[in-house]
């Protein structure tokens, strides 16, 4: 959108503007990606384990299953399929030679890494922020995932 403004939706506001040139990526460990159904729905780790031992993929699973505003899914059986379906849709699958890049890092440890967009500011207050890309060479797919919210 920065290179071709005609692609920008009419409702795209200034808060979601990006300074692409200042974004920098670090590689995420692809070995952390396991079968998404390895974790139960509503997987919780925040108060049960030493957080330094939790890898990024498990954090993603918790964030997906326990967002700031509850998911409105008809039943638990359907809810149990959401994270695995999400991972399948974006190509976030184990043993597929993934190249995973994190574009914001931990805002407490590396606050400068997320300043390339004001979109991430709200999430720093409460729930957190996500921005990563998934290149799956076996499927020839590239996906970008962004999340940031507060109460």
The pLDDT tens digits of the residues spanning 99-145 come to: 999 999 888 888 889 999 988 888 888 778 999 999 999 999 999 99
Hey, which bits of 1-151 come out as E strands? 26-27, 99-102, 129-136, 141-148
Domain residue ranges of the chain, discontinuous segments joined by +: 5-148
Which residue matches tokens 């940031």?
148
The tokens describing 83, both together, are 């994270």
Q: At what angle do helices 76-90 and 56-65 cross, to 10 degrees?
A: 130
> H-helix or E-strand containing 124?
helix 121-124
Whole-angstrom distance, CA of residue 55 vs CA of residue 29: 9
pLDDT grade, residue 14 (50/70/90)? very low
Task: Find out whether 43 and 36 touch, Cβ atoms under 8 Å.
Answer: no
The tokens describing 7, both together, are 């692609």
The tokens describing 1, both together, are 């959108």
Task: Find out whether 116 and 20 touch, Cβ atoms under 8 Å.
Answer: yes
Total-model pTM: 0.81
Q: What 3-state DSSP class applies to 92?
A: coil
46-103 pLDDT per residue, tens: 656 666 778 899 888 888 877 777 777 667 788 778 889 999 999 999 999 999 999 9
> H-helix or E-strand containing 25?
none
Q: How many residues does the chain have?
A: 151
Phi, psi for 96 (deg, rounded to 5): -120, 20
């Amino acid at each position: 959108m920065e290179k071709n403004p005609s692609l920008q939706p009419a409702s795209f506001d200034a808060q979601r503007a990006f300074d692409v040139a200042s974004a920098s990526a670090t590689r995420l460990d692809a070995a952390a990606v396991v079968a998404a159904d390895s974790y139960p729905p509503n997987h919780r780790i925040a108060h049960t384990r030493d957080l330094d031992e939790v890898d990024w993929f498990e954090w993603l699973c918790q964030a997906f299953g326990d967002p700031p505003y509850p998911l409105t899914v008809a039943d638990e059986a359907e809810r149990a399929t959401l994270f695995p379906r999400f991972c399948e849709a974006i190509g976030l699958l184990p043993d597929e030679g993934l190249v995973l890049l994190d574009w914001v890092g931990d805002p407490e440890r590396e606050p400068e890494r997320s300043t390339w967009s004001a979109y991430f500011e709200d999430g720093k207050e409460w729930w957190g922020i996500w921005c990563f890309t998934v290149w799956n060479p076996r499927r020839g797919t590239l996906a970008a995932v962004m999340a940031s919210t507060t109460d």
